[in-house]
Amino acid sequence: MQTSTAIQTWIDQQLTNNPPRAKSLVMTVFGDAIAPHGGTIWLGSLISLMSHFGINDRLVRTSVFRLAEEGWLEARRDGRRSTYQLATASYARFQHAYKRVYVPQTGKWDHYWTLVIMSGDDTSTGNKASLKKELLWEGFRMINAGVFAHPQADTAALQNVLGRNGFAGLCTVCRTSDLNLPNARPLPSLIASHWQLDEVNIAYKNFIEAFSPLKKLVQGQNLPEHAAFVIRSLLIHSFRRTQLHDPNLPSSLRPEGWLGDEAYRLCRDLYRACFRPAENLLSQALDPEHRQDGGLSLQERFGGLF
């Protein structure tokens, strides 16, 4: 099946104007497409998949080699052939990162904040710089020396972050609410001074402007498998990178004109349009020995794909 000229033009323009880095795109393909089907792929099959983005085999080999060095992937040899799979140690982080992509933000809030308080000797056993970096990824902000706050924290993710960085049992974690004292600064006032939401909203705006034209183009179309796979991967790659900087605040603390929900709905609609033909391509690329059906976790993305 041939790709319509308009859709192919959109793909070409996207790859030209916003070319994704090969290593980063390989990670997206693993997280979105390969992980739910067992997480393992022959190197040759991965090279074939990435060729649809115009990425040559040398760049793919370099990318997976570096990802393996960094602990994200594991390589296994079978004679002269190699498979790559998600490293066991990184799998939970993949699951958490992509859950944020497929599940809408909740607007509900009990008006309690989560605080992470580090004591002066925490650095003796933990990696403070790494902890700070991961807390920022989780949407926390440092509101005072050694004190990080978030109004709607994912406590399971926080537990993993503390343990992974050597701070298990070394930080005080508590939930607190505003006393609303007339002479005290209200907690919600921290948002404007510590969370750069305007920058995130601009990123959502750019995402919407880039992908909105595509929604009209794919409506009612039987997309070719390779085009659907490319669109789906570029879609998730772009949305994930934008969401990475979204602190996931309650709706009452977001600014007027917040575009995160609109961006999510656009991503959901395009993903549903591309899902089946993209899965057909994946079923051909993944070895039956390694391939799994994806189960409910795959089907329940974006509130249900069928």
Asked if the structure places residue 93 within a domain, the reply is: no
Last residue in a domain, options 142, 177, 212: 177
Cβ atoms of 201 and 249 closer than 8 Å: no
Range of the domain at 125: 112-177
2 or 71, greater pLDDT:
71
Q: What percent of the chain has pLDDT over 90?
A: 60
Q: Above 80 in pLDDT, residue 146?
A: yes
Asked if the structure places residue 226 within a domain, the reply is: yes
71: left (phi over 0), alpha (psi -120 to 50) or beta: left
Q: What pLDDT sits at residue 1? A: 57
Amino acid at 56: N
On whether both 204 and 297 belong to a single domain, the answer is yes
On whether both 238 and 146 belong to a single domain, the answer is no
Q: Above 90 in pLDDT, residue 246?
A: yes
On whether both 210 and 297 belong to a single domain, the answer is yes
Q: Kindly state the average pLDDT of the residues 267-289.
A: 92
On whether both 172 and 235 belong to a single domain, the answer is no
On whether both 172 and 200 belong to a single domain, the answer is no
Asked if the structure places residue 204 within a domain, the reply is: yes
Length of the chain: 306
Tokens (6 digits) for 272: 């549903």
Asked if the structure places residue 191 within a domain, the reply is: no
Asked if the structure places residue 185 within a domain, the reply is: no
Q: What pLDDT sits at residue 92? A: 76
Q: Above 60 in pLDDT, residue 123?
A: no
On whether both 122 and 163 belong to a single domain, the answer is yes
Tokens (6 digits) for 13: 């323009």
Q: Tell me: the pLDDT tens digits for 147-190?
A: 999 999 999 899 989 998 889 888 999 999 988 888 888 888 88
Q: What pLDDT sits at residue 126? A: 64
Q: What pLDDT sits at residue 295? A: 62
Q: What pLDDT sits at residue 265? A: 95
Asked if the structure places residue 149 within a domain, the reply is: yes
Average pLDDT, the chain: 89
Q: Kindly state the average pLDDT of the residues 20-34.
A: 95
Asked if the structure places residue 126 within a domain, the reply is: yes
Alpha helices, DSSP H, located in the chain: 5-17, 22-29, 43-51, 57-69, 88-102, 128-137, 155-164, 190-194, 197-218, 225-243, 260-285, 295-299
147 or 295, greater pLDDT:
147
Instruction: Please count the structural domains in the chain.
Output: 2
On whether both 162 and 227 belong to a single domain, the answer is no
Which residues partner with 171 through β-bridges? 118
Q: Kindly state the average pLDDT of the residues 92-111.
A: 81
Tokens (6 digits) for 266: 């656009």
On whether both 295 and 252 belong to a single domain, the answer is yes
Cβ atoms of 64 and 73 closer than 8 Å: yes
Q: Tell me: the pLDDT tens digits for 210-221?
A: 999 999 999 878
Q: What Å distances lie between residue 149 and 112, 160, 195, CA to CA?
A: 11, 17, 11
Cβ atoms of 135 and 147 closer than 8 Å: no
Q: What secondary structure letter does DSSP report for 108?
A: -
Q: What is the separation, in whole angstroms, between the first and last Cα of the chain?
A: 23
On whether both 164 and 216 belong to a single domain, the answer is no
Q: What CATH number should be reported for the domain holding residue 168?
A: 3.30.70
Asked if the structure places residue 73 within a domain, the reply is: no
Pairing of strands 112-118, 147-150: antiparallel
On whether both 155 and 218 belong to a single domain, the answer is no
Q: How confident is the model at residue 75 (pLDDT cuts 50, 70, 90)?
A: very high
Q: Kindly state the average pLDDT of the residues 220-228.
A: 90
Q: Kindly state the average pLDDT of the residues 290-305.
A: 75
Q: Kindly state the average pLDDT of the residues 92-115.
A: 84
On whether both 219 and 291 belong to a single domain, the answer is yes
98 or 216, greater pLDDT:
216
Q: What is the Cα–Cα distance from 127 to 92, expressed in whole angstroms?
A: 19
SS3 184: coil
Q: What pLDDT sits at residue 298? A: 81
Q: Above 90 in pLDDT, residue 208?
A: yes
Q: What pLDDT sits at residue 215? A: 93
Q: What secondary structure letter does DSSP report for 30?
A: I
Q: What is the Cα–Cα distance from 263 to 205, expressed in whole angstroms?
A: 8
Name residues whose C-beta falls within 8 Å of residue 245's C-beta, 6 or more positions apart in sequence. 199, 200, 203
Q: Give phi and psi for 143, each to the nearest 5.
A: -95, -10
Q: Above 90 in pLDDT, residue 105?
A: no
Q: How confident is the model at residue 121 (pLDDT cuts 50, 70, 90)?
A: low
Instruction: Please write down the long-range contacts of 292-298, taking CB distance under 8 Å and 24 or more positions apart.
Output: 292/36, 292/37, 292/38, 293/37, 294/36, 294/37, 295/36, 297/36, 298/36, 298/37
Q: What is the Cα–Cα distance from 84 to 207, expressed in whole angstroms?
A: 31
On whether both 231 and 162 belong to a single domain, the answer is no
Q: What pLDDT sits at residue 140? A: 96
